[in-house]
Amino acid sequence: MKKSFKYIGALTLVLAAATGCNEKNFLKQDNPNQITDATFWKDESSVSAALGATYSPLRSSLYGYWGSFQGIQDINALGDDVFTLPGEEPGTWAVGTFSNDENNGDLSSIFSNTYKCIHRANLLLSKIGDVNMPDDKKKLYMAEAKFLRGLSYYLLASNWGGVPLRTTPLETTDGYATPCSTKEQVWQQVVSDLTDAQAGLPVKRDAKEQGRVTSGAAIAYLGKAYMFMEDYQKAEATFDLLFKSPYAYDLVDNYEDNFTDKNEFNIESVFEWTFAPIGDQYGAWSTESPNSPMYNYLPQFIGPPAGGGWFKYVPSNYLVKEFVKEKRPDGSDTKFDKRMYASLMWKYSKLGETDVTWYDGKTFDQLWNSALSKTVRLYPDVALDTTTNGRFLIKKGTSAWRSVANADNYWGPTPSTANYRVMRFAEILLLRAEAAAQNGNNGKAITDIGRIRQRAGLKVKTAADLPGKAELLAEIDHQKLLELFFEQNRVYDIRRWNKNATQMSTILKAHEKQGANVFQAKHFVFPIPGDELKSNPKATQNDLWK
Amino acid sequence: MLFRHAGKYPNSRVLAQMLKVMKLAAFLLLVLAMQVSATGYSQKLTLNMHNVSLSKVFKEIRKQTGYTFFYNTEMLEQADKVSVAVVQADLEYVLGKCLSNKKLNYSIVDNTIILSVKAKDQTEEAAQPVANISVFGKITDAVTHEPLTGASVKLKGTTKGASSDAKGNYTLELPENGGVLVVSFIGYETVEKTVSQAGALDIAMKPKAVQTEELVVVGYGTQKRKDITGAVSSVKVSSISANVSRNISSAIQGRVPGVSVESSSGAPGAGMIITIRGMSTLGNNAPLYIVDGVFVSNIDGVSPNDVESIEVLKDAATASIYGSRAANGVVIVTTKGGRKETAPKLEIDSWFGVQSVPRRMSLLNSEQWTKLMSANITGIPAYTSQTPNTNWQDAIFRQATITRTNVNFSGGSQNFTYNLSGGYLKENGTIINTNYSAANFRVKSEYNKGRLRVGETVIIKRGINRNNPGGGDQVHSIVGSALMMPATVPVYDPTQPLGGYGRRPTFMKNLSNPIARLENIDNTVKDLSLLANAFVEVKLIEGLKYKFNVGLTEGQSNSRVFTGPFDDGNAANPLPDLSQSTSTSNSWLVENTLNYNKKLGKHSIDALIGYTAQKNMTTGFSASRDDLPIGTSVLGAGLATSQKNDGSASTSSIVSRFGRIMYSYDSRYLFSASVRRDGSSRFAQDYQYGSFPSFSAGWNVHNEHFFSGISNIVNTLKFRGSWGVLGNQEIGNYLTQNSITSGLNYVQGGVLWPGATASAYASPLDLSWEETKITNVGMDAGFLDNKLFVIFDVFNKKTTGVLLSVPFPLSVGKTGSPTLNAGVIQNKGYEISLEYNDRKGDLNYRLGFNLSHTANEMTAINVGSGRQEFGGISRAKVGSPIGSFFLIKTDGIFNSKEEVAAHSKDGKPIQPNAQPGDIRYVDFNNDGIIDNQDEQNLGSPFPNVNLGLSANLSWRGFDMSLFLEAVTGNKIYNARRKWMDKMNEVTNFSTDVLNAWTPENHSNFPRFTLTDPNNNNRDNSDRWLEDGSYLRFKRLEIGYTMPKSLTGKWGIDKVRVFASGENLFTITKYKGYNPDIGGAPLSRGMDNSWDVYPLSRTLLFGLNLTF
């Protein structure tokens, strides 16, 4: 018995010894899949990676603002220049017809992606100080990060108004609650970030950095921000910077060069969202993974089925009417505004010209017939006018120009890689013209409008044609509708120009905008997403949506 | 020395004489010592006592007769309990009866009864008169009436005996005055018969009932059922129809109170979801699974044929020995071993069956659809006799075969036992081109000699599963597409390129042809799992054992998705694509335990200490290429530029110490305490350790002296109580490490710009265990000879620091959501189980019933939102059960413009866009508009009551078992019906839309409108919420065992044929395919159209053979 106890005693000791050794090491398990924050920020390569990551969310394929689906689609659906086909994405339909609520998934996704860009910019700005790299390089990166943050706040201010303002990254789980700032405070942040960015960014990028932002883009967005803020003096002065050295922006001769991959980064281009044949072309719905595609999926959403598209939009009756209203002078090589040929497809012979084909030989009838059955969904809500001027399809944004069969289909051989022109000089001209008209500088406005009309092949208007502010603004309205059709512009312009809900509603009804009947003051902005309100105790819904 | 030797030869003459002398001497001694008076006591006694101690009987005799007893307490300690029922009997008769089997004699001296210890048995035996009588007869099975060969018949108290021959016959010579015959046979209850005369005596033996001295497996050991102080439910394989279940979890479905087992899917090979006593966390609610001592992630790797018992540890007292992983309860599976000293036995179970989806959704046919659509929109092609009329449900569903064979071989010698089994299952799915097959092999053996006991279990399983390939368009699964696709679309259309599949015209919603996907996408997963466990146990001193246990698991899963060239009408794949992935997981576990048990008089102690370490590792990689030339099927053939690959790995480790002490006094007072201290790598340093104590106590009231009065009515009465703390660490690895995410890419200069940054959340460093405190009070009671047994438990389970992936504001801009210790969840409930076992003649039957109720509540949320809720439609909100449905209430249909106008606040219509035929919504917050603020709690996905009813009957060679289950009070959000009823897209609809509201037909189904300005189809309305209660006839099995007289000739011990039906019928108001849909805490009861594979009804026919 005694012996046994000794034995047990010894065993217990052995057990105790075994337990003590290396338990600490045994329980320390490091993540083999990812490096940690502690070792990441070491040199310029990490800052460069962090900056790439900051660009990413705004374009993340099919979700981000310029990813084609939720950004470009939803904002375009809000304009009076297109009809949206019902029975496609319910989220887009709700946004486009003013029936969205705070739980709308599209808007929540755009909101969230925009803030991802802001977080990553904030993170870069807070970490770069301790990174081992030259100071002048640091300044360049910081300016670029500030541009992206400023651009993000610009998107938030112009779509949501007052939103939570965050200028430092949240690095612990505390302090996540932040109230919504006022719309004015958000605009101030935009101005501050873009001003800093303008000062620190280069005028030009060499071939290796092509696609990254330049100081011209910062100026353009700064000017546009002033337009939203209705500070027309500052806006005009800001835009003026782009008309002189070191900048040499001008219009390209061929309007369509702005929508194809033939003449990217041209003199008209101020900021392009770049696409390239990289990644898994079929992985369009994958957003941020190593193999996520870098293709441009916009054509998929617009084109007619015979061209491989999903055909979710048709030109509105109003747009077509505005396009055919003013013909080119007699003797011109085309009957209508040059821009109409790049923006729309129709049966040319119906309007007295020679028929052409698209998508490697598809006639308009073939294209239309492939889309016809789907147009039944528009009724009875919308009376698509196919008799007054005939039938029209959207060309701008599709790959119809490529002369490739099935070109719009992302499951086709090669989806589009045409860069998306986010800001081009034509818009600067029209914005400066508007600011100048507001400031009484009519001559400047007439000149700027003239450049647009001339490129479109229209007769240049003189002071006699446009004697006062009202005429100028009307012409700018008309030109912007045609020039920037389906370029995520229309809804912002009509919101800026018609601040009263009744006035807006009247215009929308007149232009047969879908959902015009239910338009209310709250539809000037998007509601703060429910997901934000549920998780951010300090945030409150926009007063218009309460 | 001589005496001892002599004992071996009781019949020798020398011995007989010697014993005679001794007997005489003893007699004389007795006469000298006491005055014997064997007559003159005419006092009559009436007693009715059952299974009580002798002292109790004596007490009663004293009361009735006034006689006192003279004895030494030690004498009675050796005596067994007695039963005596007499009316007006003589004292001597009663005493004789009480002491007949005891080692005691009595004598009566005046008014005192003196007890004495009997001399050695041999003495008595030798004293038996020599004259003999002969008894003979047949020994049979009381149930089957089969003769029993080799049963032993012994004269009690002697070694005189015989055994039955092949026909069950026996003969035995007895002393003239007869005696007690003891008939015993392995697996049968021992029978005792008093014989006083010669002649025929047939004996029928009852097979042993399960409840005799039931041993229950608890953590790191076993315990007698009567000594258990916690809440443990035990399912023995004999009470379940394990051999017709496809997996273990389905075999225990509805049989254990408080344990919910739900089908995640009707897909072939799909497992089940087990939840014990309600949802206590918002994350992983799966219990801890242990198979033969090894921690596994899933018990479905064990073939149901191999299961000996399944124990479910439900409260803290029993589960806390598993500490940080036991908060959701513990399920312990013990596989079958061999039995000592049994001849080799070979059992073969084989069955074949068919299964089908019992229900179809009622959808529009081509003519109805065309007519309805044409009436509402223009451009729909007219219906003609040529228009296809496809029944898409019939196209994807089929009647499928299923078959399983299992072979088990077992036996044992004095020191060695073994059990081997192998089986094969082939199950075709009820959706075409889906199937599952599995082969399993298992060995379990144990060797025991002297101080040493060693043993092992090895289980190997190979499974091959061809899965449903899933949707095609963005919203629907295969089943969803079959429901949405209008009947006018043909399945096949030879004019279409790439496979000739029918395509939806473009005016319809972008739907995929489900048949095209099922026929062209081969998504096959092959997995191999290995579980091995080995132990050595050494008895150090009497009562003290050291056990060293090593467990290993290894799992491999290989998935291959081959997408052939086809066009499903929504997307075209001109050339095949292939993606392959492999994942491996392995773990090791080392356990050192010391176990000490000791009985000191009435004190009994069982103590345990242990130290264990475990490590789990997983790795995986995947690769894919597109555009393989037709005819090739390997990655290397694909387009090199399309190649993709990925890989990941993770490791976690856990170290534990634990101790437990169980103490009982006189089998009356039971007490146990345990503590476990765990260290886990999932948490940051300084937060890795947690301690989990528990205490419990029990009181076996039926063993108390005062209880004897009613002990013949209530045979068992035990009260139990326990309290303890358990943990839950079921979260991902590395959560507190702030990681850099890569792949956040962009383009510069026309080439990839690889991006990476700290884009995701890390959990705070003080992230810690979720703690669940459980208080449990229970009672076990047995009545009528324990024929009726009742177990009742009440519990209160409170989880604090609930580990939750908390949604943070979108405006923070990080991806994902950090896991935090976020809230408090409470589950309260009760469980009752009743079982009645009896026989009437040849009929043996068992009826079982169980009922449980759990009330769940999210009691607090400590982080995240000021608005205190998580989730969407199904939400965790303080004060409501987890997953409660928050929806806008509907209030009928507007029948006129006046009704629309009348639904107003302050003169303004609440629903200005509504038309007659639209839904009237309740303005819950009374603000004059209908919006999301009007959502209210309209019910919970949890049933109020779960019920299970089972019966087993046997009569002669026939046996029958049936099982019914029911749940009531739960709600289901039928998202699938939303797609069929919503009518705002060009898809097929349910036939209910034919009754849609029109000015002429004021039905309660809203009007047809594609534009839907009133939002009749809003997701968040109770239009889609349905009652999920159901009663299901889960299983019926009828078997017949052929007479052994017949099968014995064939050399087969047992032949049983059976037929079985599963899910025979379900009574429910729920309109979907099946109402038991399970789901994670925040998506519970959400019947989404995504990958839900309907449950099937199965009919099986089978054969059991034993050699």
| pLDDT grade for B32, boundaries at 50, 70 and 90 | very low
Rg of the Cα trace of chain B? 36
What the block records as the tokens of B525 is 């997963």
Q: Which residues pair with B909 in a beta bridge?
A: B904
Q: Do A535 and B757 touch (CB under 8 A)?
A: no
In chain B, residues with a C-beta closer than 8 Å to the C-beta of A19 are 611, 655, 657
Closest to A425 measured CA to CA, from A298, A260, A255, A261: A255
Q: Range with the lowest mean pLDDT among A426-430, A455-459, B929-933?
A: B929-933
Cβ(B551)–Cβ(B589) below 8 Å: yes
User: Out of A122, A276, A285, whose CB is closest to B747?
Assistant: A276
In chain A, residues with a C-beta closer than 8 Å to the C-beta of B763 are 173
Residue B1018 scores a pLDDT above 80:
yes
> What one-letter code names the amino acid at B400?
A
Residue B325 scores a pLDDT above 50:
yes
The dihedrals phi and psi of B36, each to the nearest 5 degrees, come to: -90, 130
B377 versus B302: which is more confidently predicted? B302
Residue B41 scores a pLDDT above 60:
no
Averaged pLDDT for residues B26-32 = 44
What the block records as the tokens of B199 is 């002649």
pLDDT tens digits, residue range B452-494?
999 999 999 999 999 988 877 656 788 888 999 999 999 999 9
pLDDT tens digits, residue range A397-426?
999 998 898 899 887 778 899 999 999 999
Q: Do A56 and B746 touch (CB under 8 A)?
A: yes
Q: Do B507 and A373 touch (CB under 8 A)?
A: yes
Q: What is the H or E stretch that residue A108 is in?
A: helix A105-127
| CA atoms of B743 and B645, how far apart (whole Å) | 13
What interface predicted TM-score (ipTM) does this complex get?
0.93
| CA atoms of B215 and B228, how far apart (whole Å) | 10
- Pairs of residues, one from chain A and one from chain B, whose beta carbons lie less than 8 Å apart: 301
DSSP letter for each residue of B536-584 = EEEEEETTEEEEEEEEEEEEEEEEEEEE-SEE-SS-EESS-EEEEEEEE
Give how far A245 is from chain B: nearest CA, Å.
25
pLDDT at B642: 83
Residue B417 scores a pLDDT above 50:
yes
Cβ(B93)–Cβ(B43) below 8 Å: no
pLDDT at B1006: 93
Q: Do A19 and B657 touch (CB under 8 A)?
A: yes
Own/partner contacts of A243-251, CB < 8 Å, gap of 24 or more, are A243/A432, A246/A203, A247/A203, A247/A216, A249/A216, A249/A425, A249/A428, A250/A425, A251/A425, A251/A426, A251/A429, A251/A451, A251/A452, A251/A455
Lookup result for tokens 């400066």: A432
Phi-psi category of residue B443: left, alpha or beta, with phi > 0 → left and psi -120 to 50 → alpha: beta
Give how far B929 is from chain A: nearest CA, Å.
11
Chain A residue with CA closest to B1013: the answer is A99
The dihedrals phi and psi of B766, each to the nearest 5 degrees, come to: -90, 15
User: Out of B738, B809, B1013, whose CB is closest to A536?
Assistant: B809
Q: Count other Cβ atoms within 10 Å, centred on residue B295.
A: 19
Average pLDDT, chain B: 84
Residue B569 scores a pLDDT above 80:
yes
A218 versus B1072: which is more confidently predicted? A218
Torsion of CA B293, B298, B300, B303, to 10 degrees: -20
pLDDT at B123: 42
Q: Which residues pair with A294 in a beta bridge?
A: none
| pLDDT grade for B20, boundaries at 50, 70 and 90 | low
| CA atoms of A56 and A445, how far apart (whole Å) | 37
| CA atoms of B823 and B804, how far apart (whole Å) | 8
> How much of chain B exceeds pLDDT 90, in percent?
42
pLDDT at B126: 42
What the block records as the tokens of B405 is 């064979």
Which residue, among B540, B757, B983, B989, would best test binding to A if mutated, counting the most A CBs under 10 Å from its CB? B757
All residues at 6 or more sequence positions from A86 whose CB lies less than 8 Å from its CB, including other chains: A93, A377, A378, A381, B984, B1010, B1011
3-state secondary structure of B781: strand
Residue A461 vs residues A364, A477, B366, B424: alpha-carbon distances, Å: 33, 15, 60, 86
All residues at 6 or more sequence positions from B236 whose CB lies less than 8 Å from its CB, including other chains: B210, B308, B309
| pLDDT grade for B865, boundaries at 50, 70 and 90 | low
| CA atoms of B515 and A295, how far apart (whole Å) | 31
Give how far A22 is from chain B: nearest CA, Å.
11
Q: Which residues pair with B412 in a beta bridge?
A: B342, B417
Which residue, among B683, B753, B1019, would best test binding to A if mutated, counting the most A CBs under 10 Å from its CB? B753
What the block records as the tokens of A358 is 């698209």
pLDDT tens digits, residue range A37-55?
888 999 999 999 999 999 9
A163 versus A59: which is more confidently predicted? A163
Cβ(B651)–Cβ(B733) below 8 Å: yes
Residue A344 vs residues A314, A358, A363, A393, A397: alpha-carbon distances, Å: 10, 11, 14, 6, 10
3-state secondary structure of B277: coil
| CA atoms of A342 and A324, how far apart (whole Å) | 14
Closest to A86 measured CA to CA, from B1068, B938, B351, B507: B507
Helix ranges (H only) for B467-507 are: 478-484
Beta strands B203-205 and B770-783, pairing class:
unpaired
The dihedrals phi and psi of B287, each to the nearest 5 degrees, come to: -70, 170
Q: Range with the lowest mean pLDDT among A89-103, B101-115, B262-276, B1059-1073?
A: B101-115
* CB burial of residue B204 (10 Å; 0-12, 13-18, 19+): middle
Residue B42 scores a pLDDT above 50:
no
| CA atoms of B117 and A25, how far apart (whole Å) | 66
Q: Do B679 and A289 touch (CB under 8 A)?
A: no
Closest to B347 measured CA to CA, from B421, B408, B419, B418: B408
Considering B257-266, B284-293, B325-334, B539-548, the range whose residues carry the highest mean pLDDT is B539-548
| pLDDT grade for B106, boundaries at 50, 70 and 90 | confident
Averaged pLDDT for residues B958-984 = 89
Which DSSP state fits B808?
P
In chain A, residues with a C-beta closer than 8 Å to the C-beta of B933 are none
| CA atoms of B270 and B263, how far apart (whole Å) | 8
Averaged pLDDT for residues B723-731 = 88
C-alpha torsion sign, points A120, A122, A124, A126 = negative
Cβ(B393)–Cβ(B514) below 8 Å: no
Q: Range with the lowest mean pLDDT among B18-22, B356-360, B436-440, B1010-1014?
A: B18-22
> What one-letter code names the amino acid at B399?
Q
All residues at 6 or more sequence positions from A343 whose CB lies less than 8 Å from its CB, including other chains: A315, A323, A394, A395, A396, A482, A485, A486
Q: What is the H or E stretch that residue A490 is in?
A: helix A490-497
The dihedrals phi and psi of B190, each to the nearest 5 degrees, come to: -70, 140
Residue B507 scores a pLDDT above 90:
no
The separation between CA A43 and the C-alpha centre of its own chain, rounded to angstroms, equals 32
pLDDT tens digits, residue range A332-352?
999 999 999 999 999 999 999
Which residue, among A173, A174, A368, A375, would best test binding to B if mutated, counting the most B CBs under 10 Å from its CB? A173
Q: Count other Cβ atoms within 10 Å, centred on residue A503.
A: 12
C-alpha torsion sign, points B48, B53, B54, B60 = negative
Q: Range with the lowest mean pLDDT among A94-108, A150-164, B66-80, B572-586?
A: B66-80
Residue B298 vs residues A309, B331, B460, B462, B737: alpha-carbon distances, Å: 46, 10, 14, 15, 28
Chain A residue with CA closest to B758: the answer is A37
| CA atoms of B73 and A474, how far apart (whole Å) | 117
Give how far B227 is from chain A: nearest CA, Å.
28
Cβ(A316)–Cβ(A512) below 8 Å: yes
CA triple B898-B903-B906, angle to 5 deg = 115
pLDDT at B149: 77
The separation between CA A416 and the C-alpha centre of its own chain, rounded to angstroms, equals 17
In chain B, residues with a C-beta closer than 8 Å to the C-beta of A48 are 753
Q: Count other Cβ atoms within 10 Å, centred on residue B426.
A: 17
Which residue, among A21, A27, A41, A180, would best test binding to B if mutated, counting the most B CBs under 10 Å from its CB? A27
Give how far A467 is from chain B: nearest CA, Å.
44
All residues at 6 or more sequence positions from B1084 whose CB lies less than 8 Å from its CB, including other chains: B279, B874, B882, B883, B941, B942, B1078
Residue B36 scores a pLDDT above 80:
no
Q: Do A375 and B379 touch (CB under 8 A)?
A: yes
In chain A, residues with a C-beta closer than 8 Å to the C-beta of B653 are 26-27, 29
pLDDT at A313: 95
